[in-house]
Amino acid sequence: MLAMKDKPWLLLFGLLAALSCLASFGDAAYPYYGTKIGALTRLHHGVSGDVYAVDSRTIFIKKFNYDGEAPAAYFYVGNTARPSNEGAARLRDERGGTASLTRRYRNKDVTLSLPEGKTLRDIKWFSVWCDEFAVNFGDVAIPANLDFPRPQKINALRGVHGVSSDNIVIVDAQTLLVPNFSYDGEAPDAKFWVGRGQRPTSEGLRIPDENGKENPLRRYERKTIVLTLPEDLTIFDIGHFGVWCEAFTVDFGHVRLPEGLNVPPSLKMLGISPQSKLNCEVLYDDLAFEVRWAVAGESIVVQLVAKLEPNHYMSFGISPSKNISQMIGADAVVAWVDPQTGNGFATDYFLEGKAQCSGGRGACPDTKISEKTNSIRLLNAAMVNGYSIVTYQRSLAATDRLDLPISITDAESVVWAIGPLNDFREVSFHTFYNKHLHQIEFGRQPKWNCPLPEGARPGSNSSEQEDSSPAAQSSTGGAGYPPAGRPNVEPDEEFYENRAEALHRQPPQRRQETAILTQRRPVPTPKPVNSNGAWDIPAIQCHEPEDGVFYAQMGPTGGKHGYPAITGHVGWGISWYINGLLIPEIHVVRGRTYTFVVEGGNNPDIPAKYHPFYISDDPVGGYEHKREEEKKAVRIYAGVHRSRSGQVTPTGVGRLCNWTPDVEGPPADDYQSFGAYQRTLTLKCDAGEPGVISWKPDRNTPDTVYYHCFTHRYLGWKIHVHDACDSEAGGLKGAPSERHEIRLPAEPEPAPVHEDYAGEASVRHETKMASALLRLSRRAY
């Protein structure tokens, strides 16, 4: 069990774990310091110590000794044949200082960072060097083939109760990053669980959640979380990680941890307190309003903390003037946490005026002034002991005309405010704000100018504790400020080295799959996007296809030109593709029978692989998760079976076929037409049979119905129902309201499962799809 006094340390470390991921970044016994490079040669002034590679840019010296008597000694690294200060890089000391080493070190643990842009692969030696006399006091060679520790990616979670994730990243020896974690929250006693051996048992150990708590897990839906192993436990001590129901001793899903992982040690293992790597400034002491930050490459990660009233916001931003803290013209972030749901918000604002936003004037979200100008990325939101904690990321550079850059070389004048939100969840006015100049040096060496979290001790690491100032020691007195929060981020490509790797991070398949490749179509002439940014997706007319067979499969939403622009609703990454087209509008005729070959997934244990197809009068979808009163208002026309007791079971269930993007190609946003984007997609199908449903709209079918996913909202689009169709001209006859006459000859009612399609669909699939796509593409572009 983890002592309560240690939990703030876990929460504070969560922000650092996020920063580690956003920046570059056998059997081992504790303590562990990384890969040992070697011992410093003992040449002069008592220099000694063992040197370790913590990661690609960090050096750790265990028990460093130096008498402090030389006039101009510094830490140096270089790539010359032997140590020298010519052409070498001088390192800042363990405190971030640039002065020479004039104090005495006696068995001190020292952590040093390489200059920006350099890694251990770029250097051949590390030395304590005296500039004044050009003397090497002691050095160690860096092997060219040094295998320095780095974060390692392992398998993804897959299990029952909707447990799933993307590939897990072992950030360091005590930290796990679980991207896009999902769990339905319905079990009574589910916990994050670790233990020895390959599979979980009741002999394992629960570990705290991303907020440092050991309560039963709540519902998660594609949340990225950071978990820290308690006390001295490391990944070298365990063989698996997963979700375990402690009360009923049931494994909900787990992954094995490979042996011999070469990962960095944690900050705690190096004796470093988390706040020594972060900056913090108090903005308004009465409400414990703090801003914490760290620069990560070309971006900055910021955390705002305050004790807010319900429905209140906290804001922080950059003044347009370097010399005064000026609200008008400022680039600010408005953040808050909903105490009912725990959901957090961080919105990019431009303060054009002091009034509430109206018509793009006043204190407005950037997107109310100009589309696609939100430059803020929410990483975390939490409510801890009454404190609202919101963590976000933004670029140091200005990314649009409403942004201001953040300098890391000069001080910036900042603005802040606290006040109530209006009915639109936008700022109404500010109750508290800075009335005088407030400047911050964002690029400074890490400095914690805030009260320390409860349970934390002053001092940046074990080598400095004896030198801690009285002021620092007194800063813990009773303030009770909350620790930094853990990141609950959306899927993040910045956790990986490049975009291609990020797109490859899909979990490994646990069963045999077959890939069905469609024929390449001639390159169409791209059409410009519509005024609202949406691709022009051709509708499937009432005479197409001739045999009335539709293939329903899954695929990507198409970025900003696809699902959200077409429907006006936000998609969640996947959508229905009908006969190879992204959510086309479908035209059908009453009295004719249509067949839908459904390939949306048939594994209900994995939500991402289970999308039953159905047709109803509900424009939202997701019937399974609606409240009972909502279900009563929905009429379903195809894709379900209703038992005598009234239970509704989906029948449009079949193997999963996905239209998969080219990982080497540009993102969907870069394509000006769906035709150009569709040519980059490849249809890949799991083994198994498709599902088949038949539907015959009649005089009682409304003019507009919708095809959707039974288990998820907003995956499909519209079906228009007509009385007649002119198949030669492609036009429609008869107003939809004129339902007194069926203009197509009646057809016999098919069996619930049509033998032709259920048994032979796999064989005919490729030919049918290529034919349908070719037929539709003639009109599409």
Give the pLDDT mean for 328-356.
Answer: 89
| Cα angle for residues 487, 488, 489 (degrees, 5° grid) | 95
The backbone torsions φ and ψ at residue 762, rounded to the nearest 5 degrees and listed phi first, read -65, -40
Is there a contact between 301 and 386 (Cβ–Cβ < 8 Å)?
A: no
By C-alpha distance, which of 430, 426, 423, 219 is closest to 336?
A: 426
How far are the Cα atoms of 97, 112, 293, 663 from residue 444, in angstroms, in the given order?
11, 16, 11, 38
Tens of pLDDT, residue by residue over 420-466, are: 998 888 998 888 999 999 999 998 878 888 886 544 544 444 334 33
The strand pairing partners of 602, in sequence order, are 610
The strand pairing partners of 763, in sequence order, are none
b/e per residue 665-701 (b: at least 16 CB within 10 A): eeebeebebbbbbbbbbebbbbebebbbbbbbbeeeb
Helices (H) and strands (E) in the chain, counts: 8, 46
Position 8 pLDDT exceeds 50: no
Tens of pLDDT, residue by residue over 565-581, are: 999 886 656 899 999 99
The CATH architecture assigned to 549-722 reads Sandwich (2.60)
**Of 442-456, 477-491, 632-646, 752-766, where does the model show the most confidence?**
632-646
284-441 topology per CATH: Immunoglobulin-like (2.60.40)
Interacting residues of 712 by C-beta distance below 8 A, sequence separation 6+: 572, 607, 611, 621, 622
The conformational region for residue 402 under phi > 0 = left, psi -120 to 50 = alpha, else beta, is alpha
What is the model's pLDDT at position 72?
A: 94
Instruction: At 596, list the tokens.
Output: 């839908």
- Residue 632 CB neighbours (<10 A): 9
Position 266 pLDDT exceeds 90: no
What is the model's pLDDT at position 482?
A: 44
By C-alpha distance, which of 676, 417, 690 is closest to 551?
A: 690
Give the pLDDT mean for 686-698.
Answer: 95
Say how far apart CA 148 and CA 57 lie, in whole Å. 9
By C-alpha distance, which of 558, 707, 685 is closest to 621?
A: 707
Largest CA distance in the chain: 104
Task: Considering only CA atoms, give the Rg of the chain.
Answer: 30
Handedness of CA 701, 706, 710, 713 (dihedral sign): negative
- The residue that leads in pLDDT, 5 or 95, is 95
266 secondary structure, DSSP code: P
What is the model's pLDDT at position 355?
A: 82
- The residue that leads in pLDDT, 763 or 716, is 716
CA 192 to chain centre: 20
What is the model's pLDDT at position 257?
A: 95
Say how far apart CA 194 and CA 238 lie, in whole Å. 6
What is the model's pLDDT at position 528?
A: 38
The backbone torsions φ and ψ at residue 509, rounded to the nearest 5 degrees and listed phi first, read -75, 145
Residue type, 726: D
Say how far apart CA 203 and CA 482 lie, in whole Å. 33
CA 269 to chain centre: 27
Q: What is the pTM of this model?
A: 0.46
Position 751 pLDDT exceeds 60: no
- Write out 110-164 in H/E/C secondary structure: EEEECCCCCCHHHCCEEEEEECCCCEEEEEEECCCCCCCCCCEEEEEEECCCCCE
Domain ranges of the chain: 35-141, 152-263, 284-441, 549-722
Edge-first strand order for the sheet with 613-616 is 586-589, 718-722, 704-709, 613-616, 636-638
b/e per residue 337-356 (b: at least 16 CB within 10 A): beeeeeebbbbbbbbbeeee
Query: Which residue matches tokens 């760290």?
Result: 294
Give the pLDDT mean for 23-48.
Answer: 77
The backbone torsions φ and ψ at residue 226, rounded to the nearest 5 degrees and listed phi first, read -115, 125
Name the band, by pLDDT with cuts 50, 70 and 90, for residue 274.
low
What is the model's pLDDT at position 31?
A: 80
The rounded mean pLDDT for the chain is 79
Tens of pLDDT, residue by residue over 522-574, are: 323 333 334 468 999 999 999 888 899 999 999 998 888 999 899 988 665 68
Position 726 pLDDT exceeds 80: no
By C-alpha distance, which of 8, 4, 17 is closest to 175?
A: 17
What is the model's pLDDT at position 762?
A: 36
Say how far apart CA 309 and CA 642 lie, in whole Å. 48
Say how far apart CA 636 and CA 19 lie, in whole Å. 48
Name the band, by pLDDT with cuts 50, 70 and 90, for residue 136.
very high
Position 54 pLDDT exceeds 60: yes
Lowest model confidence (mean pLDDT) among 216-230, 247-261, 637-651, 730-744:
730-744
- Identical fold for domains 284-441 and 549-722, yes or no, is yes
What is the model's pLDDT at position 276?
A: 61
Interacting residues of 610 by C-beta distance below 8 A, sequence separation 6+: 600, 601, 602, 603, 604, 653, 711
